[in-house]
């Protein structure tokens, strides 16, 4: 157990993962747990602090989610955010009710005390609100330290018990000094800021050694940063007992297989190649549902690995580059978060899988993985390669997968990336790619009527994949991309640009 951590109790907020992310940015380990984790279990974890997340419920409703009340007797500092503030209010004999004037968006917080959680802030701060309920009666023995025009008790504290409540969301970037508030809470908790890449690498390598011992590990590699960092970490731990396998599933980008094998040779890892293109395309024939696609691909990956492992020797473990956001979006990891979509290396795994999983990155966000990668000398072009989904082009072809559609999208996607690189935008963008839509439109080429496919361009800015903003690419660049796709890719006569943010949309279309 990491007893220099701050844990987050999840009440179903859309921002819960951002809280964990902000704490880690300050070099303190944070992890999310279900809201009803017992006080006894928390005592065993022995964290330095506890944060109560926001959530969609109302504390005055029947069956509203509440934490184990004994957590307030553990003498551990507690910070409640939004719904978390309202929980504190209700438990300590205050009162919460529905507000006639709800607060969503920016608000001005008037700070009344700057001795603790608000130390170093201005008298007036811009914060982000998202609530329909508000505190109307203060909890016993608490002091008001901040208010807004709509909330007289927007921030409260009990310094003796080290319990703090904020009606706003310091975890979102719209709260200008939110990170400073978390920094103050870390100081109150007495947590040491030792969550650094070097410590993570040392601990992870040692942990893999202890788990694997003298057994062999089969590692699925794709050439992306996640699987590459995974492979290098496992290689550091067990050396020759690691066997890396690259599967060509027929859903890769143009010349992807050749580039991946060349790259792994460069980092000193021998990779075995399996061409399973026909097998995957056959299994996906007629399948249109995105969740079925992901699960078919995930299951087939495991079967391919298991069959291959039988041919070359006995394996006990399978290493994967699963990240924390993969787990959060696929399943309720430790809290009541809603399943958004299954990831190929999470939701697609068969229940009776024979190989045990080694997932050294499963507690990390993408930018943390890159920091680890820098420390273990992974090449820049690999480290900063834009994310590519495990199911490959299958989740970028809306509807049924065919070899013809794969070829169309492969060529279009190559043009998109090629031109974005030429324009100097590739390293500035989190992810950019093409999507083949399940519709055809009328066009005119060479004075003849055409009825052909549509390609959507998607480009987003993001920090950790949990939220994303669409990129305002220059019109001239979009024009070049569109012209090249329509002129060079047979079967496409229209190109459109996706201007949706996450949320409400996801980064991938499926």
Exposure b/e, 136-148, CB count within 10 A at least 16 = b: eebbeebeebbbb
User: What ranges in 377-402 are assigned the alpha helix state H?
Assistant: 380-383
Catalytic residue among 171, 329, 419, 510: 171
Is residue 52 within 8 A of residue 83, CB to CB? The reply is yes
CA 193 and chain centroid, separation:
22
Give Cα separations from 261 to 109, 248, 270, 273 (angstroms).
55, 11, 9, 8
CA–CA dist 282, 276 (Å, integer):
10
Residues 6+ apart with CB under 8 A from 448: none
Is residue 212 within 8 A of residue 185, CB to CB? The reply is no
176 is a catalytic site residue:
no
Nearest to 457 by CA among 484, 493, 491, 496: 496
169 is a catalytic site residue:
yes
Catalytic residue among 82, 189, 219, 244: 82
Nearest to 276 by CA among 255, 297, 253: 297
Give Cα separations from 317 to 241, 336, 354, 364, 465 (angstroms).
11, 30, 9, 20, 28
What is 266-326 written as a DSSP string? HTT--EEEEE-HHHHHHHTTT---HHHHHHHHHHHHHHHHHHHHHHH----EEE----HHH
508 is a catalytic site residue:
no
Residues 6+ apart with CB under 8 A from 148: 103, 107, 108, 109, 110, 127, 129, 154, 167, 168
CA–CA dist 163, 76 (Å, integer):
9
Catalytic residue among 131, 169, 343, 414: 169
Nearest to 398 by CA among 385, 408, 388: 408
Is residue 221 within 8 A of residue 378, CB to CB? The reply is no
Nearest to 155 by CA among 182, 121, 118, 105: 118
Report which secondary-structure segment, H or E, holds 226.
helix 225-238
Is residue 496 within 8 A of residue 439, CB to CB? The reply is no
Give the chain's length: 510
Report which secondary-structure segment, H or E, holds 219.
strand 217-220
- What dihedral do alpha carbons 222, 224, 225, 231 form, nearest 10°? 10
Residue 436, SS3 per DSSP: strand
CA–CA dist 234, 226 (Å, integer):
12
Is residue 329 within 8 A of residue 17, CB to CB? The reply is no
Q: How many CB atoms lie within 10 A of CB 490?
A: 11
Active-site positions?
Answer: 82, 169, 171
């Amino acid at each position: 157990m990491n007893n220099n951590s701050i844990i987050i109790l999840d009440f179903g907020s859309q921002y819960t993962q951002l809280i964990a992310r902000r704490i880690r940015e300050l070099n303190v380990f944070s992890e999310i747990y279900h809201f009803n984790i017992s006080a006894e279990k928390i005592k065993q974890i022995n964290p330095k602090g506890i944060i109560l997340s926001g959530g969609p419920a109302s504390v005055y409703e029947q069956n509203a989610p509440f934490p184990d009340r004994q957590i307030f007797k553990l003498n551990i500092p507690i910070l409640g955010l939004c719904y978390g503030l309202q929980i504190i209010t209700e438990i300590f004999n205050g009162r919460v009710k529905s507000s006639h004037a709800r607060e969503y968006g920016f608000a001005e917080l008037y700070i009344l005390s700057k001795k603790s959680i608000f130390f170093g802030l201005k008298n007036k701060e811009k914060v982000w609100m998202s609530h329909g309920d508000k505190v109307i009666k203060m909890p016993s023995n608490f002091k008001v330290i901040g208010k807004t025009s709509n909330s007289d008790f927007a921030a409260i504290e009990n310094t003796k018990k080290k319990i703090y409540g904020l009606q706003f969301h310091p975890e979102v970037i719209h709260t200008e000094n939110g990170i400073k508030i978390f920094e103050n809470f870390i100081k109150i908790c007495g947590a040491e800021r030792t969550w650094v890449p070097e410590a993570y690498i040392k601990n992870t390598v040692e942990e893999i050694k202890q788990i694997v011992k003298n057994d062999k590990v089969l590692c699925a590699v794709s050439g992306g940063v996640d699987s590459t960092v995974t492979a290098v970490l496992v290689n550091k731990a067990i050396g020759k007992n690691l066997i890396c396998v690259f599967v060509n599933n027929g859903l890769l980008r143009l010349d992807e297989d050749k580039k991946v094998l060349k790259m792994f040779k460069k980092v000193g890892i021998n990779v075995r190649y399996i061409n399973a293109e026909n097998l995957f395309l056959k299994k996906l024939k007629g399948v249109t549902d995105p969740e079925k696609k992901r699960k078919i691909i995930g299951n087939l990956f495991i079967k391919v690995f298991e069959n291959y492992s039988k041919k070359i020797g006995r394996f006990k473990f399978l290493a994967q580059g699963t990240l924390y956001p993969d787990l959060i979006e696929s399943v309720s990891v430790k809290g009541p978060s809603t399943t958004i979509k299954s990831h190929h290396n999470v939701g697609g795994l068969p229940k009776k899988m024979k190989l045990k999983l080694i997932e050294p990155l499963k507690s990390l966000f993408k930018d943390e993985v890159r920091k680890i990668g820098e420390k273990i000398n992974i090449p820049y072009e690999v480290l900063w390669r834009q994310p590519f989904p495990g199911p490959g082009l299958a989740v970028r072809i809306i509807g049924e997968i065919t070899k013809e559609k794969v070829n169309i999208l492969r060529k279009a996607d190559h043009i998109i990336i090629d031109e974005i690189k030429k324009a100097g935008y590739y390293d500035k963008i989190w992810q950019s790619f093409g999507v083949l839509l399940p519709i055809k439109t009328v066009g005119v080429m060479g004075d003849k009527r055409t009825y052909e496919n549509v390609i959507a361009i998607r480009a987003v800015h993001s920090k950790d994949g949990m939220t994303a903003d669409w990129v305002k690419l220059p019109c001239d660049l979009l024009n070049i991309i569109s012209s090249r796709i329509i002129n060079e890719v047979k079967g496409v006569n229209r190109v459109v640009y996706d201007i949706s943010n996450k949320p409400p949309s996801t980064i991938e279309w499926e």
